[in-house]
């Protein structure tokens, strides 16, 4: 699976849940208060942003999806500020006013890019089925329903709403809250973070126990899938009857995790609504999360930012000529994203059109292509003292310049069997008149559930023939 962006403009997502206003007061703190040992912040900038379910909706819109937002607010200044923030983000919102209640507001005081304190305003809303009725009436116009639960009281009688959505053919994604997940029974997918997951299933010692308890939760709640977000350990996707998909964290720098969960579920929603398969949607969500945690405060991710991050997956620092250790890390990350890794090997002493055609053919069989190259001593043992014509560094540089090739790695043994056994590609290919049992590394690849294929070379093209032609010309 190569990670690609679908046409997000085709996505129609309905978001319902706890909306809130994220308010930021920002300024320098250059002195300590004489009244108490606390910093004095000279506020010179105020910023109001849409948070909670509203941030989910803004993330959908920022990626280019069509979004409708439903939430509850009070009769206060914060509600108006929230409406303005939502409108600025291009989201069509219906904020239902509950008299006597206050809009959920989180005020953060920031100095020198550090949060000094957070003050929360607003209590739980009184139970009301108004939001459910509004959501049920909107289901037919949307492909995905996101329930963003911050336990502020907007979401009630969720089993009935989930059942109505599933009956209408709408995918239901839930960002859960609390230690009782039974209220989300029948949803398509839940996205708990690790703390929320452990609060429900209890402690886990390792990935294997996480998978076991996660699969049990999938069965108990009749879910299609469960995506556990694990901070620096990335994400784990669990589906009934299928192997777990572990996606490693991609963030190069974590600046602020505020709203990262909103970004994950919104990217999942817009990708699924646009036609992506679930593993690819999770890979996109993982990439989006890595972008947003590098920003300060509640933020969104644009389609351009996501595209750039996805492109970096395929053009990272590890692409090109790599060491064995670099290759093993890059392959592990690629396979974790569900990509098919193809591997081949050879001397490639004088690169010719036959080689290029063969490598292009190999690359079309998967998402990534590794070329393992005999070093100079290995070539001499195989081809004779007069070879190679070109040193291993030159041969690898030429191979790495080909568009079909992702990684080039040297090996010093007569065969790449040990290296192939360490890499364990999904598909091992070799060009020429071979049988599978004659190919170095075939046992290791097959034992790991991979595949071995024989590809043909273009007739009349070979390094030896080129060398002989040059000699005759002399």
Is there a contact between 216 and 224 (Cβ–Cβ < 8 Å)?
A: no
SS3 259: coil
Stated as kind and residue range, the H or E segment containing 449 is none
Q: Identify whether the C-beta of residue 187 lies closer than 8 Å to the C-beta of residue 223.
A: yes
Please give the helix or strand (H or E) that residue 359 lies within, else none: helix 353-363
Q: Which two tokens stand for residue 31?
A: 């002195």
Q: How far apart are CA 190 and CA 279, in angstroms?
A: 14
| Residues 249 and 233 sit within 8 Å (Cβ to Cβ) | yes
- Count of beta carbons in the 10 Å neighbourhood of residue 295: 17
Residues with catalytic function: 262
Q: What is the DSSP letter of 124?
A: P
The H-or-E segment that residue 25 falls in is strand 19-26
Characterize 230-269 residue by residue with b for buried, 16 or more Cβ atoms within 10 angstroms of its Cβ, and e for exposed. Answer: bbeebbbbbbeeeebbbbebbbeeeebebbbbbbbbbbbb
Instruction: Quickly tell me which residue has 């999360």 as its tokens.
Output: 289
DSSP letter (8 states) at residue 201: H
Rounded Cα gap, residues 372 and 415, in angstroms: 10
What CA–CA distances, in Å, run from 429 to 137, 425, 432, 454? 54, 10, 10, 6
Angle at the Cα of 414 (from 408 to 420), degrees rounded to 5? 50
CB 135 within 8 A of CB 70: yes
> Cβ-count burial of 293 within 10 angstroms (0-12 exposed, 13-18 middle, 19+ buried)?
buried
Residue the block writes with tokens 């299928």: 242
């Amino acid at each position: 699976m190569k990670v690609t962006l679908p046409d997000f403009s085709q996505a129609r997502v309905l978001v319902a849940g706890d909306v809130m206003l994220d308010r930021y007061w920002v300024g320098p703190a250059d002195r300590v208060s004489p009244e108490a040992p606390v910093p004095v912040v000279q506020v010179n900038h105020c910023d109001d942003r849409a948070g909670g379910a509203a941030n989910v909706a803004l993330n959908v819109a920022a990626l280019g999806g069509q979004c409708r937002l439903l939430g509850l607010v009070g009769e206060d200044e914060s509600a108006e500020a929230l409406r303005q923030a939502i409108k600025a983000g291009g989201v069509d919102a219906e904020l239902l006013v509950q008299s006597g209640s206050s809009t959920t507001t989180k005020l953060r005081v920031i100095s020198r890019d550090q949060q000094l304190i957070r003050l929360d305003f607003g209590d739980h809303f009184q139970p009301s089925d108004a939001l459910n009725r509004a959501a049920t009436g909107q289901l037919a116009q949307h492909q995905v329903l996101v329930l963003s639960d911050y336990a502020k009281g907007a979401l009630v009688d969720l089993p009935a709403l989930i059942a109505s959505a599933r009956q209408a053919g709408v995918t239901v994604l839930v960002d859960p809250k609390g230690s009782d997940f039974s209220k989300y029974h029948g949803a398509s997918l839940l996205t708990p973070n690790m703390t929320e997951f452990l609060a429900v299933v209890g402690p886990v010692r390792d990935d294997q126990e996480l998978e076991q308890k996660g699969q049990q939760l999938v069965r108990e709640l009749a879910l299609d899938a469960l995506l556990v977000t694990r901070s620096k350990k990335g994400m784990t996707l669990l589906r009934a009857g299928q192997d777990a998909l572990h996606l490693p964290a991609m963030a190069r720098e974590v600046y602020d995790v505020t709203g990262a969960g909103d970004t994950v579920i919104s990217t999942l929603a817009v990708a699924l609504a646009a036609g992506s398969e679930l593993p690819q949607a999770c890979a996109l969500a993982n990439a989006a999360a890595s972008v947003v945690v590098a920003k300060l405060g509640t933020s969104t991710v644009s389609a351009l930012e996501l595209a750039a991050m996805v492109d970096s997956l395929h053009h990272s620092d590890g692409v090109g000529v790599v060491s064995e250790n670099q290759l093993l890390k890059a392959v592990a990350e690629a396979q974790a994203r569900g990509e098919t890794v193809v591997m081949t090997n050879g001397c490639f002493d004088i690169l010719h059109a036959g080689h290029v055609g063969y490598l292009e053919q190999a690359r079309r069989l998967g998402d990534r292509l590794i070329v393992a190259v005999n070093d100079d001593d290995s070539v001499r043992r195989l081809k004779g003292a007069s070879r190679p014509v070109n040193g291993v560094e030159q041969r690898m540089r030429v191979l790495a310049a080909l568009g079909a090739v992702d990684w080039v790695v040297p090996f010093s043994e007569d065969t790449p069997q040990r290296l192939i056994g360490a890499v364990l590609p999904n598909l091992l290919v070799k060009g020429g008149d071979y049988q599978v049992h004659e190919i170095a590394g075939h046992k290791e690849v097959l034992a790991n559930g991979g595949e071995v294929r024989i590809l043909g070379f273009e007739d009349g093209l070979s390094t030896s023939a080129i060398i002989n032609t040059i000699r005759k010309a002399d």
